[in-house]
Structure 1
Amino acid sequence: MKFEVYCDESGLEALTRKDAHLYTGIGGIWLPAENRDLLKKGLNEIKQKYNIKTELKWKKISPAHLDLYKEVIDFFFNAGYIRFRVILIEAGKVDNMRFNSEDAELGFYKFYYQLLKHWIFDFNDYAIFTDLKKNRNKGRLKELEHTLDRSNLTSDVTQVQGLPSEQSLGIQLADILTGLVVSKFNKKATSTAKLKLIEYIENKYLSKEIAPTSKWEEKFNVFKINLQGGW
């Protein structure tokens, strides 16, 4: 079966500025490639309903648009074909000198690998799309593609490609969900609308506070990585 994965990051400043906040997160949504048009149709209908012509984004959530983003959350949880996974990294404990030859960019993409590899399953094809960002090493995404492809010899990672977020509704949905989880863990959601959206997910869909899940959670998987090893 062919799958597509759309990824984004939140709180990257914590990896370079230790006083910024506690956690950095990288998140992605997984869906069968044949359902891509369903994703686009569903999110575009919500945007049209609220006359939104710009991209959906966690940073843009405001009281005026809270109902819009609640409908985006409803869409995600009601779409059985979409799954979400986020990796949370306690940035202050990342030791790039010891493990990455002082290369923070390499360390960042190792965390990307940890996000993705656990949801690459046998006998499937995966096309992975990340939010476009400038890398010092222009071969990072190709290196990630090859590493993921070699990690499971019975699956095929066909591409890892950067896309501008405004061109991808999948990346926009990943941005919202990742930003929401990272803000919850960093206790940085100071706007009323963002706090209400976090509470909306917790009360309506999770019946508990957002917290690390078991590795087997399939819909809303929160992986707080233990930098000493293990889940």
Structure 2
Amino acid sequence: MSENFATSYSYKLFCDESCHLEHDSSNVMVLGTICCPEESVEKINRQIKALRYQHSYKNELKWTQLHFKQIGFYKALIDLFLETEALRFKATVVLNKKALNHEQFNQGSHNNFYYKMFYYTLRDFLEPRNHYNIYLDYMDTQGRDKAKKLMEVLHNANFGQVNIATYIIRSHESQLIQLCDLLIGALSYSNRTDIAHESKVKNELVDYLVLKLCHRLDMGTPPWEQKFNIFRFSPRGTIC
């Protein structure tokens, strides 16, 4: 088949970030993305809303606001993600964030490093000729500038061969951004060495996710892992 007539597909990428600021209290940074074919998003949203109704869960889902009485709902979401073939997840975990040398490697800018890490997070989902709508959680008034810059970075890295559009939305508007928040929250919690891991609900959720994945969250996965890919980065290089 001629390349001009090759089949193309449309995907939606739902992104979230944890501890991404340069000077916060965390020694790790996590960027995560859930990738879903566009035609599957509506069905999955309905399934998540059905779980919300079943478990009487009305609030926005946030890792920082978990309640043990809702542990059944959180586990049901993990099951839905793992059992839904259309959903794929990739995260970049930056270790020992305070040891980063931006002057030497990132032109003195934490923002430059941030975009590099987001590129690593998204690159495995991007293929020529396909169309991607990327949804970023609204974090601050600089969100539109970040979205524009990220789109430029991705276009340049793919030599303009990937059709990309970026959007800033509020996390409460997206069931899949909230699910992404849950997954990156579990990764951040598992990889932080600067906190006491004393939360009963968080420990049980991490243990449940590890049991289902048959893989620890404080270790990287092989590059070819499709369902739940973890890329770990340290100031001294990548860690598998």
TM-score (norm 1): 0.90
Distance in 2, matches of 1:101 and 1:38, equals: 44
Per the TM alignment, residue 2 of structure 1 is displaced from its structure 2 partner at its CA by 0.5
What letter corresponds to residue 172 of structure 2 in structure 1? E
Q: What root-mean-square deviation, in Å, do the aligned CA atoms of Structure 1 and Structure 2 show? A: 2.0
Amino acid at match of 2:69: A
Moved over 6 A (4+): none
Aligned counterpart, 1:167: 173
TM-superposition CA deviations, 1:73-96 (whole Å, max 9, x none): 001001010000100112123222
Matches within 5 A, 1:1-231: 1-13=9-21, 15-17=22-24, 20-90=25-95, 91-134=97-140, 136=142, 138-153=144-159, 155-186=161-192, 188=195, 189-203=197-211, 205-210=212-217, 211-229=219-237
Give the secondary-structure state (helix, strand or coil) at the position aligned to 2:226. Answer: coil
User: What is the alpha-carbon distance in structure 1 between the residues aligned to residue 161 and residue 134 of structure 2?
Assistant: 13
Task: Return the alpha-carbon distance in structure 1 between the equivalents of residues 135 and 187 of structure 2.
Answer: 20
Q: 2:101 touches 2:235 (CA, 8 Å); kept in 1?
A: no
- Aligned partners of 2:233, 2:65: CA distance in 1, in Å? 28
Q: Secondary structure at the match of 1:180?
A: helix
Give the number of equivalent residue pairs. Answer: 227
Match of 2:6 in 1: none
Render the CA deviation track for 1:68-122: whole Å, top value 9, x for unaligned: 1000100100101000010011212322222333332232222112211232123
Task: Flag structure 2 segments of 5+ consecutive residues without an equivalent.
Answer: 1-8
Quote the Cα distance in structure 1 between the aligned partners of 2:129 and 2:142.
34
Q: 1:135 to 1:98 in 2, by over 3 A?
A: farther
Listed as ranges, the gaps of 5+ residues in structure 1 are none
Q: Please list the CA deviations of residues 133-168 of structure 1 after superposition, one character each: whole Å capped at 9, or x if unmatched.
A: 225585221121122123224742321222110111
Shift of 1:230: 5.4
d(CA) in 2 for partners of 1:103 and 1:161? Answer: 24
Q: Distance in 1 between matches of 2:192 and 2:237?
A: 22
Corresponding letter in the other structure for 1:53? K
Distance in structure 2 (CA, Å) of the matches to 1:53 and 1:216: 37
CA distance in 2, matches of 1:197, 1:100: 35
Aligned equivalents of 2:143 and 2:48: distance in 1? 34
The aligned amino acid for 2:56 is N
